[in-house]
Amino acid sequence: HSLCFGVIIALCGCYQGVNCGRNSDSVGLATTRSVVCAIVWMIVATGIITVICQELDI
Protein backbone atom coordinates (compact mmCIF):
# COMPACT_ATOMS: atom_id res chain seq x y z
CA HIS A 1 0.00 0.00 0.00
CA SER A 2 2.61 2.51 1.02
CA LEU A 3 4.55 2.26 -2.25
CA CYS A 4 1.37 2.73 -4.25
CA PHE A 5 0.31 5.69 -2.11
CA GLY A 6 3.73 7.29 -2.46
CA VAL A 7 3.57 7.04 -6.24
CA ILE A 8 0.04 8.47 -6.30
CA ILE A 9 0.99 11.43 -4.10
CA ALA A 10 4.10 12.15 -6.16
CA LEU A 11 2.26 11.97 -9.47
CA CYS A 12 -0.61 14.19 -8.33
CA GLY A 13 1.79 16.73 -6.86
CA CYS A 14 4.01 16.81 -9.94
CA TYR A 15 1.08 17.06 -12.34
CA GLN A 16 -0.52 19.96 -10.50
CA GLY A 17 2.85 21.66 -10.02
CA VAL A 18 3.70 21.52 -13.72
CA ASN A 19 0.27 22.86 -14.68
CA CYS A 20 0.31 25.62 -12.06
CA GLY A 21 0.02 29.25 -13.07
CA ARG A 22 2.67 31.88 -12.51
CA ASN A 23 1.10 33.87 -9.65
CA SER A 24 0.75 33.18 -5.93
CA ASP A 25 -2.99 32.47 -6.16
CA SER A 26 -2.34 29.66 -8.62
CA VAL A 27 0.11 28.01 -6.23
CA GLY A 28 -2.50 27.76 -3.47
CA LEU A 29 -5.10 26.46 -5.90
CA ALA A 30 -2.68 23.88 -7.31
CA THR A 31 -1.83 22.71 -3.79
CA THR A 32 -5.50 22.21 -2.95
CA ARG A 33 -6.11 20.38 -6.22
CA SER A 34 -3.10 18.17 -5.60
CA VAL A 35 -4.32 17.14 -2.15
CA VAL A 36 -7.84 16.40 -3.41
CA CYS A 37 -6.46 14.45 -6.37
CA ALA A 38 -4.21 12.36 -4.12
CA ILE A 39 -7.00 11.58 -1.65
CA VAL A 40 -9.42 10.51 -4.39
CA TRP A 41 -6.84 8.30 -6.12
CA MET A 42 -5.75 6.74 -2.81
CA ILE A 43 -9.36 5.75 -2.13
CA VAL A 44 -9.62 4.23 -5.61
CA ALA A 45 -6.28 2.43 -5.18
CA THR A 46 -7.34 1.05 -1.80
CA GLY A 47 -10.46 -0.42 -3.38
CA ILE A 48 -8.51 -1.98 -6.23
CA ILE A 49 -5.83 -3.40 -3.94
CA THR A 50 -8.48 -4.81 -1.60
CA VAL A 51 -10.29 -6.57 -4.44
CA ILE A 52 -7.04 -8.01 -5.79
CA CYS A 53 -5.97 -9.26 -2.35
CA GLN A 54 -9.36 -10.87 -1.74
CA GLU A 55 -9.31 -12.61 -5.11
CA LEU A 56 -5.81 -13.95 -4.50
CA ASP A 57 -6.59 -14.88 -0.86
CA ILE A 58 -3.69 -12.83 0.43
> What is the pLDDT at residue 8?
96
CA pair distance 1, 19, nearest whole angstrom: 27
Domain range list for the chain: 2-55
Task: Provide the Cα torsion 42, 43, 49, 55; round to 10°.
Answer: -170
Name the amino acid, one letter, at 37. Answer: C
pLDDT the model gives residue 42: 96
Read off the amino acid at residue 15. Y
Which residues in the chain show pLDDT less than 70? none
Angstrom distance (rounded) from CA 51 to CA 27:
36
Model pLDDT, residue 50: 95
Closest CA to 17 of 38, 3, 39, 41: 38
